[in-house]
Structure 1
Amino acid sequence: MNNRTYPRNDQLNTNTKKNRYNDEPPSSDNDKANSNVYHDQISNVVFHGSMPRRKTIPPPISSNMQLINSPAPSPRRLRSTDGSDDEYVEVNNNKKKKRIQKQTGQLHPDQTYPILDFNLNNNCNTTTAPHSSVPAHKVTSPAQPVHHLANPQHHYQERPQITRESTRYAQTRYPFPPFVIRFNSSNVTTKQVSEDLIEHVKLKYQKTIQLANCRTSNIARVNNEHDLLIYIKDSDSFCFLLDQSTWPTKLCNLVYTFPTSPSIPPQLSLIIKNVDLRIDLEDFIDDIKASYSQVKNVIRMKNKFQSNIKLVKIELTSSSLKEQLLNSKKIIVNHITYDIDEYLAPATVLICSRCMVIGHFKSQCKQINETCKTCGEQCVDLKLHNCSQVEKCIHCQQNHKSNALKCPVVKSYRAELTKKILDINSRSMPKPMPKNNIYNYNYTYDASNFPPLPHAQSNLNSNNLMMIKLDDLIEKMTEVKDHLATLAINNEKFEQFMQDKNQHDDLTKQQIDSLLNNDNAIKKDLVQHSLLIERHENMFIKLLIPMFEDLFTLIAGQNQDKRGENRNGGVLVLVKHGIHVSRVDCKLPNVCVIDINAEDELRILGIYASDSRSWSWDNISPLISNRCVVYGDFNVDLEHDTNKAEILLNWADENSLAPYTPNLPTSLRSNRIIDYAFARGMNIDIQTHASNTTSDHFPILSVISTNIKQNVLGTNVHWKVFALFSEYAYAFWEKRWNVRNIDGTYDEYIKFLSLLTARCTITFPLDRYRVALPTELRSFMPYVRALSFRALRTKSSELKMEVNCLRKIAKTELKSFLSRQLSIALRLRNTSSPISVSFWARTKRFLKPSSSTLHAFVDSSEQIIREPGKMCELAAEFYEDFFKKK
């Protein structure tokens, strides 16, 4: 019996599921043409042997390379979404069965024979099916059954075999990515959606599209959303549906959306060769898209070191353009002709999701336990597995996941799988027919032409020698294997080193370029500065320096010590606006005396006492009052100048003056304190202000505690006068209004209003400020006063009683209004309103001077409050109650 495997497009039926896993490997017509079947009647063994031939993989040129998963229509079954589905159906070819039975008449149809597979081809792409019950180069007798046991220990395949499942898995997946459409309702059937889409395209565009499958998405959505995946068979249908304007507005009478757009598959991609790395890729892309509007993406390819190479991949949205470019094998970009070829996608590797071994599906796995893809440990149920999260591959024992594509074993397996697929495609090409198309179909098997093999010799010595040689060979192969593994690891480290070196070289190159640019900029600035120095050198040497020398000579001559008053010295007293002072007449030079009009008498004297002054300290004595402060530059250090200090302190004692000196020196030329103050009748605070100054002395700061009489004024605007005058001047401004010069006229009108407001404003002392009474109360009070005069004149008792009642009403209303105004004043006491100014002007006489010390308050519950914030709140509440009671 000869069973062959064919992929199907329809669903699997129950008849084919019984023979789903056949241990016999698939055979092609070419293999049968080059193979013979031998039957040993003595040992009851059937030999399958292929003719010895040597075959190398041809180089990848356009004539022998086949595109994997070609978009052309194929009778192969498309990829299933089930991970455990191996996607193969065993079909019994009865015609082939009869032909083989006719050629091998000696074999009974019901007999089963063990199979010996001699693989004489040294090509690594031709391997033995992993699910065959007989391994390669081994004869198994019918009496010796083979048992498959699950290996509980972890192991990795040193060289995984290219299985039939891996080859078909790489060739029978869906060749095109699906179109994803999203509905807001789950009441949608895949069959109805497919029929509506095909019917819409056929009726509107007179085109038939080929759908491979339509199924629902396994990803859970929120808000009752429902996603459908539509798979396409051929490239024409995929390119047609890639344009979303060709889709109907509704499917199954429901509105839908496109959450994503499918990517361009490799079947619609081409490779442009020998594209120079130095060209401008943006111009290259623009020129391609200008010449071919169906080009969607242009991508520069990279090697494994992530460096750009001379291959450029273009992704198309038209299959006809692809065929056109492949037929011409040329493309013109920027007036340059480039060779073009098909883009070959890498093969997909089949990895079992249960044991993580390469080459079979989960349904075919013989392992009982499940293997964790992260740590590589086996467990009964992965959902209950406590993973250590330490990545360890079961194939190469390195720190990555077992199903990672970067695994060296997976990479090697994918390379071998790609070579095998290319080899199968090259062998599946049509071969030349024999002359006159004559084949020998009348060949009859004759057992006499194939005598039985001689019996094996039972020479123990030769067997022992052979076993020793085999052991030596195995040991040497193990050493070679270890050496190759070490070389592979060193090669990976060297590749990583080269990659890091390239990145470091690029960074160094960027830094060198930046330094070169900075050096060029510095050179330019240096040249400009040299030119400026040369240009202004003559002006500095010949003009400015001689002028400064003459000026300094003049200043030095003017500042020479002379007998008499210093003409450049003097005293200046600045008084803040609002403080009333009066100057006392004084004939002494460099002496200024002022009296401050405060509640207490205060006099301030400013003195500049140079060594060459024309007056003595006794001349200052008549100017000293009971409360005065003398500030000045005395040119005497009270600690170091013994004689001068003694004279000055004796004069101060005679006039009851106490010296107040700062803690820091006041002279910039020496560490001397020559600027200080004398006070009589008060205490002052003084300190040196150490800041930048243009003088040769530091200024001194002093604080004097006193109460200043301030005449605070308030303002009131007579708006009735303002309104009447504005009405009177309305005719004038109406005639003067000019549209052409509206800005100038507007400025003049605003100036007029501000001047009119100033003329209608009167000022008055703020202590005479009174709150304006309401209009009704002001009208009611004169009315009561008039009634009282009438009662006095008429001496009417009834009118007198009525006047008394009205007076009580007026007093009550007046008291209520004043109470409300007091509440408003208390609420607005900390704002900038006029009522707050009046409030503090009236209440300041009840406050203590700022010079007194207040450390705490005692509240009504006899608790001591020391926090400043709580003290302020307690004082405000106290005065609020005080004014309400008053």
Structure 2
Amino acid sequence: RKTPSIPPQLSAVIQNVGFNIDIDEFSENVKELYPEIVNLVRLKDRTQRDLKLIKAEFNSVTARNAVLQAKDMTVNYMRFQVVEYLALARVLVCSRCMGIGHFQKNCPQKDQVTCKTCGEKCDDIKDHACSGIAKCIHCQQDHWSNATKCPIIKDYRAALTKTLVAHHSPAVNEIPYNMNIMNFPTLPSNDSRNAVAPTAPWAPQPQMQGITFDLQTDMMAGLIKHISDEANKTRECHEKFMQEMIRRDEEQKQKIKVLEDRIEKSEREFATLHEDQKSKVKKLEDRVEQLQQKNKQLVENCNIELHEITGSLVDLGHKDGENAEHLLDWAVSQSLAAITPNCPTSLRSDREIDYALVTGVQLTVQAYTGNTTSDHKPIFGVLAYENTKNSTECLTYWKVFYFFLSYTHVYWETRWADKKFNENYDKLNQFLVLLVERCTKYFPIEMARGAIPKELRKMLSYSRALGFQAKRTGDERLSVESTRIRNAVRSELKQFRQSQLVKQLAERHKPGRGSMMFWNRTKKHF
């Protein structure tokens, strides 16, 4: 069964309890002197560090008031001051308009409801389509409007606590009581003729009954005066609270003004930097334009030289007339370079009758020097380029390789017996290269299976090396480290395989190589 909690009204604070005092022993000593104390708790600050303050929880109002009136207690020949425990003030937040200081019953916003998450108003909170983006209606920050971490609610609680502490007055525990005969009327008798009013020893005399009304009037006047004093105190507290809130509002306005000045200064600095960047970009554009002009002049000069070179290498103007002139003009306009073989290609005359026009690539024209039945030599062009993208993958079947190699052992043993080591070594290398190529299958890279990543293979090799070293040296630490690395790699490999399976399952109905590979591998299970 859960023990009921002690309200803060039945608590007190013991001050200046050092950190060197054992809290358990101190609690036992205090409970022996004051049996009404139920529990002792050391208080902490916001950073959860212990304070020299002990909270004492009582189960009796009389015992607590007696300790507070004494203002101290003596424990183990040491005197400690005791003050009243004041709990933090609770801030009321309306669940309808998210305002501070009132309940939903007294909310002035009757027709609409404010969302505590996004801060928007709506007629019915059940039909409201909230955006899910937290925005406080008090400070415009990214948290709920009724969150206790809101700076506005924190300031309100701090001001309210400060006001309550400044004007706190202990409750009146003893109410004066005056004997009044009206509180004890005489009871009527069944026989009115012999009715005799009983008289108690403590009952007032009959002559005092006339002043009962005056006593009641005085009591009512005192009660009204007490209520008036309490109302005045409440009004003063409210006014001071409002003054405190106004002061904090002014401080917030000053902070906002400072932030606005900083933002304005930053905007001016940004505008200055923007102008500097624009000027730098303008200079770069001018520089690029100058380089383009120089490049244009170089191209024109190259075209003139190309025209001269093509005219000297291939003089077609005398034989083909206008067609040759049009061809040369077009080549010059397109910035084409003439590529010719480095030897005569005609068998009837020593002339280079074949050429090619190219731009932007490296082309070499070569002539065939062997015998031919044509009247000119066959030529072929070699185009050089660099392909940095690998579009194919290969798979070598080593079992087939070893199977073929086992049939050639006798042959190569016979060849090695000839003592021609250099010749036989070169022939063996050629045979192995051809055999590996024969046992290798090439396929597009899209059909390649996902292998184990290189990082995991390296970690497995490192774990295996540590295991061998631990077995050789007998070092237990290396063995433990090898086991740890191997288990970690196994876990990552399992996650990698699961991710590959999820990827293939997601792509099994999509067009392409991925779905074909998936169904080719899984059809044997159906």
What TM-score comes out, normalization by structure 1 length?
Answer: 0.19
| Larger of the two Rg values belongs to structure | 1
Larger relative contact order (Cα-Cα within 8 Å, sequence gap ≥ 6): 1
What TM-score comes out, normalization by structure 2 length?
Answer: 0.32
